[in-house]
Amino acid sequence: MNYTMCWLEYRKLPENTISNLKDWFSSVSILESDASALKNEIREFSEKSLDITPRFHSRPLKKKKYIMIGSLDSLPFGIEEDPGEEGFILRTQNWNGSKILVVTGKTKRSLVYAVFDLIRRIRLGEDIEKMNVLEKPKAKFRMLNHWDNLDGSVERGYAGNSIFFKDNRIIVNQRTRDYARLLASIGINGVVINNVNVKKQEVLLIEPVYLKKLKRLADLFREYGIRLYLSINFASPMYLGGLDTADPLDERVARWWREKAREIYDYIPDFGGFLVKADSEFNPGPHMFGRDHAEGANMLARALAPFGGVVIWRAFVYNCLQDWRDYKTDRARAAYDNFKPLDGKFDDNVIVQIKYGPMDFQVREPVNPLFGGLEKTNQILELQITQEYTGQQIHLCFLGTLWKEILEFDTFAKGKGSYVKRIVDGTLFGRENNGFAGVSNVGDSVNWTGHDLAQANLYAFGKLAWNPDEDIEKIVEDWIRLTFGDDRKVLENVSYMLLKSHRTYEKYTTPFGLGWMVNPGHHYGPNPEGYEYSKWGTYHRANWEAIGVDRTSRGTGYTLQYHSPWREIFDDINTCPEDLLLFFHRVRYDHRLKSGKTLIQAMYDLHFEGVEEVEKFIRKWEELKDRVPYDVFERVRERLHTQLEHAKEWRDVINTYFYRRTGIPDEKGRKIYP
């Protein structure tokens, strides 16, 4: 095997633990037919961690202790609690003269989750004799979006090539299965395998030439409770159907999609549905035909509805041909301006997928005001696991802490307590079809994610999607222990590094909600005016005295898209959270912050601090030599050193930019490099 298994790397457990567990795992009763994924996982774990090969039985046993796995219907006794469609129960109890650990749930998928969770708990040292767990996922949709192209490249991918595609062919192999295992172990239940930008070759994915192989992929995913989804091109009826239009209100177009849906479901009966990037960054959409997003999405949704599919429609819609001299258009307003008027107009099997912020996955943005703005529309929160703007998996940047802040943001849509997490889990507005999507950071590199520690981002995404209330420190701790074992020093140092890393990255790049300042195109490395005079609408408009866009009620009016009290808080430079100051306000460099520092001085200080923190990460990592596997140690060490070099470059380029703009020297007399 030429890749690691991340947090599923089953290492041998200590002897004293093993001796107790052996009894439990030597015979396992599985009351399900077709349980190969469950057996496979239990066997893997038992052989690698317990040094035994379990025997499987299809009936209850006569034995002192054993594990009994089966759906609620199949159990020889009743269980009162309702774990829902995807939840599960793990419980040790006495039955028929035996002590049994019951592993149960309603559906096949829930049993998969149950088995992975049982193994996780055991590896983390929980006592099997006292097991008593009822777990239910909070959100219904817990998806990964791959931006993979059929030629094997990955848009914004920093971990090698696609694991799904190569040379216009679809790959289904052992690695696909192992990927499904990784995803099932963190509760992911849907995967979009191709890029939202659906180009010429990818348009063909919904044609029989590809559907045959996609069926095999879907069959494999199904064993692990994962549904397959595809990104589609809205103009497919023109590309594939020979029609002269893709107008959603044209009956020929609607019929073409209905027939296409039937064809897809003939191959894949549990096909999840379509992800659509429409009228966005040159992708076709209903606007081209004078129709709105609801008309476009509903037409597709009606084609999929008879088969139980959904349409996931992205809200990432803005004018990407803005003139920098145009001060009226504000890209930050675009998602809300486009979608708020359509609230309530989408069919029930349409879900609007909204990026966490109003711009584009910057290191910090305010929460997109569509969260709390939309009340009668299903919603998915889109997060970017791949580190496009956060160091491209060269820099250590754990995103779980940022995501947690987003989830805990109180929108005040229905008064206090209207958290984003309660919107995406569907409870705030009583909606069922809500959830999470994460743009995947996975490729075919040996460690899946390029940077070994970036595996933690994938893990944390799944865990938060399953339960956004979970403590992020606990998620980090579990990930470290599952990945590296129980060394206290490793736990201490790696959690220090992960939990601080996002803030550190923010400090040496673009603090105060400034964002951008990256090199255009590939988005790596500093370039303060890289996007200043281009068409993408991402300006900071710095001059000699001030920087930032006035997005208040006196400016573009963006703050008015929020509920009170946020609109007032953001609107006032004195109450606006300082880490978002330059997102909402145009601020003079000599503006005094709460700390008493001027903005410019704080800007300098943060950049120096950020670099010092990376130096500290390196010291912390060096302490772990011989405590983590040698190859992991070396790979991470190398990346940390590159990070340090690049952090210095960020510090110097950004500080110099401000120094030369303002002529205001650093109070501490440090050298600001040319």
156 is a site residue for ligand GCU (CB under 6 A): yes
Q: How far is the CB of 253 from ligand GCU (least distance, A)?
A: 24
Chain residues 259-278 in contact with ligand GCU, contact rule CB under 6 A:
277
Q: Apex CA 634: angle with CA 45 and CA 123, to 5°?
A: 20
**CB < 8 Å & 24+ apart, contacts of 76-83:** 79/104, 81/134, 83/110, 83/134, 83/135, 83/136
* Bridge partners of residue 419, in order along the sequence: 410
Among residues 281, 529, 612, 634, the one annotated as catalytic is 281
Site map (CB under 6 A) of ligand GCU, residues 184-223, x = contact: ------------xx--------------------------
SS3 270: coil
Chain residues 605-644 in contact with ligand GCU, contact rule CB under 6 A:
none
Element housing 559 (H / E): none
Among residues 117, 135, 202, 388, the one annotated as catalytic is 388
Whole-number Cα distances in Å, 292 to 285, 298, 331, 338, 417: 9, 10, 19, 9, 33
Candidate list 47, 155, 250, 477; residue touching ligand GCU; CB under 6 A: 155
Q: How far is the CB of 277 from ligand GCU (least distance, A)?
A: 5
Q: How far is the CB of 536 from ligand GCU (least distance, A)?
A: 8
DSSP codes of every residue in 36-84: HHHHHHHHHHIIIIIS---EEESS---SSEEEEE--GGGSSS---S--T
Q: How far is the CB of 528 from ligand GCU (least distance, A)?
A: 19
Q: Name which of 156 and 364 has its Cβ closer to ligand GCU.
A: 156
**Amino acid at residue number 36:** S
**Nearest alpha carbon to residue 158 among 451, 542, 592, 482:** 451
**Residues in binding contact with ligand GCU, number by CB under 6 A:** 8
SS3 30: strand
* Bridge partners of residue 380, in order along the sequence: 353, 435
What is d(CA 275, CA 311) in angstroms, rounded to the nearest whole number? Answer: 6
- As given in the structure block, the two tokens for residue 350 are 């349409």
What is d(CA 217, CA 268) in angstroms, rounded to the nearest whole number? Answer: 10
**Nearest alpha carbon to residue 198 among 246, 148, 152:** 148
Catalytic annotation on 281?
A: yes
Among residues 360, 506, 550, 652, the one annotated as catalytic is 360
360 is a site residue for ligand GCU (CB under 6 A): yes
Q: Name which of 155 and 250 has its Cβ closer to ligand GCU.
A: 155
Chain residues 501-540 in contact with ligand GCU, contact rule CB under 6 A:
none
What is d(CA 630, CA 635) in angstroms, rounded to the nearest whole number? Answer: 9
317 is a site residue for ligand GCU (CB under 6 A): no
Chain residues 589-608 in contact with ligand GCU, contact rule CB under 6 A:
none
Chain residues 275-314 in contact with ligand GCU, contact rule CB under 6 A:
277
Element housing 359 (H / E): none
Chain residues 378-397 in contact with ligand GCU, contact rule CB under 6 A:
388
> What are the φ and ψ backbone dihedral angles of 417, each rounded to 5 degrees?
90, 10
Q: Name which of 113 and 361 has its Cβ closer to ligand GCU.
A: 361
Burial of 33 (0-12, 13-18, 19+ CB in 10 A): exposed
Q: How far is the CB of 320 from ligand GCU (least distance, A)?
A: 9
Which residues lie below 8 Å from residue 375, measured CB to CB, with a gap of 6+? 343, 344, 413, 429
Q: How far is the CB of 155 from ligand GCU (least distance, A)?
A: 5
Burial of 153 (0-12, 13-18, 19+ CB in 10 A): middle
Q: Name which of 227 and 314 has its Cβ closer to ligand GCU.
A: 314
Candidate list 24, 164, 274, 316; residue touching ligand GCU; CB under 6 A: 316
Q: Are 465 and 187 in contact (CB under 8 A)?
A: yes
Q: How far is the CB of 424 from ligand GCU (least distance, A)?
A: 18
107 is a site residue for ligand GCU (CB under 6 A): no
DSSP codes of every residue in 194-233: S-SS--HHHHGGGSHHHHHHHHHHHHHHHHTT-EEEEEE-
Q: How far is the CB of 384 from ligand GCU (least distance, A)?
A: 8
148 is a site residue for ligand GCU (CB under 6 A): no
> What are the residue numbers of the active site?
281, 360, 388
Q: Which residues bind ligand GCU (CB under 6 A)?
A: 155-156, 196-197, 277, 316, 360, 388
